[in-house]
Amino acid sequence: MAELPARARVVIIGGGAVGTSSLYHLARAGWTDCVLLEKNELTSGSTWHAAGNVPTFSTSWSLMNMQRYSTELYRGLAEEVGYPMNYHVTGSLRLGHTKERMREFERAKGMGRYQGMDIEIVGADEIRRRYPFLETHDLEGALYDPNDGDIDPAQLTQALAKGARDMGAKIVRFCPAEVGKMFGRQVPIMVMSHQYILFEEIPELAAWSREVGHKLPLLRDVDTSWYLRQEKNGMNLGPYEKNCRAHWATPDDPMPEDFSFQLFPDDLDRLEWYLNDATERVPILGTAGLSKMINGPIPYAPDGNPLIGPMPGVPNAFEACVFTFGISQAGGAGKVLSEWVTEGRTEWDMWSCDPRRFTAFASDPAYCVAKGKEVYANEYVIQFPRRVWPEGRNRKLSAIHDRIAALGAQFGTANGWERALWYAKPGDDTSAEAALTFSRSGLWEKRVREECLAVRDAAGILDLPGFSRYRLAGEGAREWLSKQITGIVPKPGRIGLGYFADDKGRIVTEMSIMALEEDLFFLITAASAELHDFEWLQRNLPQDSGITLENRTEEFSCQILSGPNARKILAEVTDADLSLPWLTHQSAKIAGRWCQLVRVSFAGELGWEIHTKVEDTPAVFDAVWQAGRKHGPKPVGMYALDSLRLEKGYRAWKQDLSTDYTVLQGGLERFVKWEKPDFRGKAALAAEKQQGVTKRFVTLVVENPGDCDAPYMATLWHGGRIVGETLSGGFGHRVDKSIALGMLRADLSEAGTEIEVEIFGDRFKAVVQKEEPLWDPNNERLRA
């Protein structure tokens, strides 16, 4: 073991591809007095045996960004650091068996093109031209990614290590550190066994390669779940099999103290089906002898994405771990991690990988194993927007779960909470398969429409457990809060939206601020935001200020009652003052239980949120539901709420609101109180305003869009160029229009401008709307 320095600005634990990339990026940012501790040799964990595929493909904007960055870094790395390595940029073909798969490819192509990559969709002839050994008769087409390839993972790690060392960073090998004990943190992780098979040389392939002078593109048959790569003149086949196997998850298979440079025993039986399928697709594989198998540990988080960012609950500690595709993501991950460490924020919004997206429930090993196996077995499936995954369910139930289930609720989850997505009627097809479509006309749409129209014409009740909720109190709380948000802190008895910007003026989060007294507030935010937003507040709260901040999420629940009959319904069950205006709140009693009636509506109708103690929720719900009967309320789910909020232009957390945009770009200037002496982000926003905002949030109406609405990150076009992107899309049933919320070049953001939006490869006319809600532009129904 080399000598351990007495001090270091940053200590990184673990010397795989990701740890060394983090060290390299920190050093590049000028933080050279950092040290990496590795308990064995560099690469001894998962890195040494990785297949080394380096795709850019993803249907997640941020993951694609990270992977694209990796490919750009790897191309120049060997020369930059003076460490030669094998990196073959061969391109890849991803085969599509179905029309829905081709839609997914079109979407990825659109995103890739926006990131500057020449991803192509190709037909059978072009597939065969690029890959002459392939059976194509049953294919719809393929996606060709010219940037894909393979790298030697050990050489990559050594190159990054060399680059970091040359800049002054230190690496100490054979130096174990007790990470878990040090931080008291249970990381949401499980371990799968993943295998690939190496085949001996195939003479036909060798001859072809010699003739054309390059390797075959990497092949992924995603609809049957395997990848196949030319390895010298043989092949490397790696399936993600349905009959997959977790490791180190049961008492009879404990995680060993040390697994450096080790593998699991081969398990060919599990791969047989995939081997046959690959041989049918690429018949020359059938002529090849099997030379070796590699069966190694591969970590999974419950959603399959890595953890990169602040460690929940531990100041000055960061995670970059649980990488399932750690070779292709190491470059980008190092960049992201070093930004978190050195600047406390990242260039790109990286919520998809933020460790705080998992709250305590997700650390339960049984949950992690169930979800990890599910993700692994479905690694390549199409990510349909309304697909609901069955594993790891019923972790957090609303106090009225049984009641809404009896009403037909079809559930999905948010931060572990089961929430009704839509309500089925007897005879409706509620099978999981029915949701495997990008089409709007899924089975739920008829019911969603009925729910939306009920909210418009009578009333809807939506059970919303799990709103994150913090109590902020103490002398000076108001003054402090005012410095944290761009706008006005509401007076006692009022509620308002507060936007929190970072020092660059970018949107960190939005919270509802309910002022109970001059210096007493409840801050309410999205269920998924629970740890993220709490930590943002906590981090910025001065110590010894006397202001207290408590996370009170689990004590309360919420029902949303919305629609023109909402007042009549409440009048039957409470003697609260129902004439109090929009954006007020009051304590009241329903069925003899305390509740807080909050006069707001995310659905954009006359309405109240009824906040209750969890234990009182059933009694309150029963009273409202029974009383409401004659006024025609319907149970309403999250799909309807999403459609209703689009018609009002209300933003969704981490979809429309993210650090990818500033508060001014986000069209939120009406929530900026310039006269305030100071607030976080003010200087940056003032400078941006003076220079002119370059892109703006807009509401678009898409004309005749066929059967699909715009997905997240669909590109916007004008004059043959990409001029922006969508953030949310969906159908507004009250206005009977396909709506998209998006970001558009500022000079095109005037109402009436016609542009195009690309939806799964087809372009449709879209018209920029006025800067007001499509539904009830003057908020008269809300104020009724």
Ligand X SMILES: Cc1cc2nc3c(=O)[nH]c(=O)nc-3n(C[C@H](O)[C@H](O)[C@H](O)COP(=O)(O)OP(=O)(O)OC[C@H]3O[C@@H](n4cnc5c(N)ncnc54)[C@H](O)[C@@H]3O)c2cc1C
Structure-block tokens of residue 119: 């991803």
CB of 44 to ligand X, least distance (A): 4
CB of 525 to ligand X, least distance (A): 31
In angstroms, rounded to a whole number, what is the distance separating the alpha carbons of residues 405 and 611? 20
In angstroms, rounded to a whole number, what is the distance separating the alpha carbons of residues 723 and 757? 10
Q: Based on CB atoms, which residue is closest to ligand X, 261 or 674? A: 261
Structural contact between residues 635 and 423, judged by C-beta atoms closer than 8 angstroms:
yes
Residue 176 binds to ligand X (criterion: CB under 6 A) = yes
Residue 18 binds to ligand X (criterion: CB under 6 A) = yes
CB of 151 to ligand X, least distance (A): 8
Helix, strand, coil percentages (3-state) for the chain, rounded to 5, are 30, 25, 40
In angstroms, rounded to a whole number, what is the distance separating the alpha carbons of residues 524 and 553? 9
Residue 338 binds to ligand X (criterion: CB under 6 A) = no
Q: Based on CB atoms, which residue is closest to ligand X, 305 or 509? A: 305
Structural contact between residues 66 and 74, judged by C-beta atoms closer than 8 angstroms:
no
In angstroms, rounded to a whole number, what is the distance separating the alpha carbons of residues 10 and 313? 18
Q: Site for ligand X (CB under 6 A): which residue of 161, 219, 294, 524?
A: 294
Quick one: how far is CA 187 from the chain centroid? 18
Q: Site for ligand X (CB under 6 A): which residue of 39, 88, 393, 676?
A: 39
Q: Based on CB atoms, which residue is closest to ligand X, 47 or 233? A: 47
CB of 42 to ligand X, least distance (A): 7
Residue 49 binds to ligand X (criterion: CB under 6 A) = yes
Length of the chain (residues): 784
Q: Site for ligand X (CB under 6 A): which residue of 10, 12, 19, 359?
A: 19
Query: What b/e readout covers 588-613, taking b as 16+ CB neighbours within 10 angstroms?
Result: bebbebebbbbbbbbbbbbbbbbbbe
Q: Based on CB atoms, which residue is closest to ligand X, 236 or 617? A: 236
Residue 99 CB neighbours (<10 A): 11
Residue 94 binds to ligand X (criterion: CB under 6 A) = no
Q: Based on CB atoms, which residue is closest to ligand X, 16 or 309? A: 16
Residue 297 CB neighbours (<10 A): 18
Closest among 469, 319, 462, 336 to 404, alpha carbons compared = 462
Q: Based on CB atoms, which residue is closest to ligand X, 19 or 505? A: 19
In angstroms, rounded to a whole number, what is the distance separating the alpha carbons of residues 244 and 242? 5
Q: Based on CB atoms, which residue is closest to ligand X, 50 or 282? A: 50
CB of 291 to ligand X, least distance (A): 15
In angstroms, rounded to a whole number, what is the distance separating the alpha carbons of residues 477 and 508? 20
Tell me the CB-side half-sphere exposure of residue 27, using CA atoms within 13 A: 26
Stretch that binds ligand X, among 296-304, 441-449, 632-640, 733-741 (CB under 6 A): 296-304
Q: Site for ligand X (CB under 6 A): which residue of 10, 12, 26, 37?
A: 37
Q: Based on CB atoms, which residue is closest to ligand X, 44 or 512? A: 44
Residue 580 CB neighbours (<10 A): 15
CB of 329 to ligand X, least distance (A): 6
Residue 97 CB burial class (10 angstroms; 0-12, 13-18, ≥19): middle
Residue 44 binds to ligand X (criterion: CB under 6 A) = yes
Residue 585 binds to ligand X (criterion: CB under 6 A) = no
In angstroms, rounded to a whole number, what is the distance separating the alpha carbons of residues 150 and 560? 51
CB of 187 to ligand X, least distance (A): 12
CB of 688 to ligand X, least distance (A): 37
Q: Could you please report the per-residue DSSP string of 519-584?
A: TEEEEEE-GGGHHHHHHHHHHHSPTTSS-EEEE-GGGEEEEEEESTTHHHHHHTT--S-TTPPTTB
Residue 236 binds to ligand X (criterion: CB under 6 A) = no
CB of 178 to ligand X, least distance (A): 6
Residue 22 binds to ligand X (criterion: CB under 6 A) = no
Residue 140 CB neighbours (<10 A): 17
Residue 194 binds to ligand X (criterion: CB under 6 A) = yes
Q: Based on CB atoms, which residue is closest to ligand X, 305 or 662? A: 305
Q: Based on CB atoms, which residue is closest to ligand X, 337 or 708? A: 337
CB of 152 to ligand X, least distance (A): 11
**Total residues at the site for ligand X (CB under 6 A)?**
37
CB of 154 to ligand X, least distance (A): 10
Residue 16 binds to ligand X (criterion: CB under 6 A) = yes
Q: Could you please report the per-residue DSSP string of 370-385?
A: HHHHHHHHTTTS---T
Q: Site for ligand X (CB under 6 A): which residue of 23, 52, 716, 739?
A: 52
Residue 154 binds to ligand X (criterion: CB under 6 A) = no
Q: Site for ligand X (CB under 6 A): which residue of 38, 221, 223, 756?
A: 38
Residue 309 binds to ligand X (criterion: CB under 6 A) = no
Q: Looking at this protein, which amino acid is placed at residue 395?
A: R
CB of 349 to ligand X, least distance (A): 22
Closest among 655, 650, 599, 640 to 734, alpha carbons compared = 640
Stretch that binds ligand X, among 295-303, 355-363, 501-509, 707-715 (CB under 6 A): 295-303
Residue corresponding to tokens 């909020």: 645
Q: Measuring CA to CA, how many Å separate 341 from each of 23, 247, 318? A: 11, 32, 7
x/- mask, ligand X, residues 354-393, rule CB under 6 A, reads ----------------------------------------
Q: Site for ligand X (CB under 6 A): which residue of 10, 12, 53, 597?
A: 53
Q: Based on CB atoms, which residue is closest to ligand X, 325 or 444? A: 325
Stretch that binds ligand X, among 48-56, 76-84, 109-117, 572-580 (CB under 6 A): 48-56
Structural contact between residues 444 and 410, judged by C-beta atoms closer than 8 angstroms:
yes
Question: What does residue 601 show for φ and ψ, rounded to 5 degrees?
Answer: -155, 115
CB of 414 to ligand X, least distance (A): 28
CB of 378 to ligand X, least distance (A): 17
Residue 324 binds to ligand X (criterion: CB under 6 A) = yes
Q: Based on CB atoms, which residue is closest to ligand X, 145 or 533? A: 145
Residue 240 binds to ligand X (criterion: CB under 6 A) = no
Report strand pairing: 721-732 vs 715-718: antiparallel
Residue corresponding to tokens 């531990």: 314
Q: Could you please report the per-residue DSSP string of 447-484?
A: HHHHHHHHHHHSEEEEE-TT-EEEEEESTTHHHHHHHH
Positions that interact with ligand X (CB under 6 A): 13-19, 37-40, 44-47, 49-53, 176-177, 179, 194, 196, 260, 294, 296-298, 321, 323-328
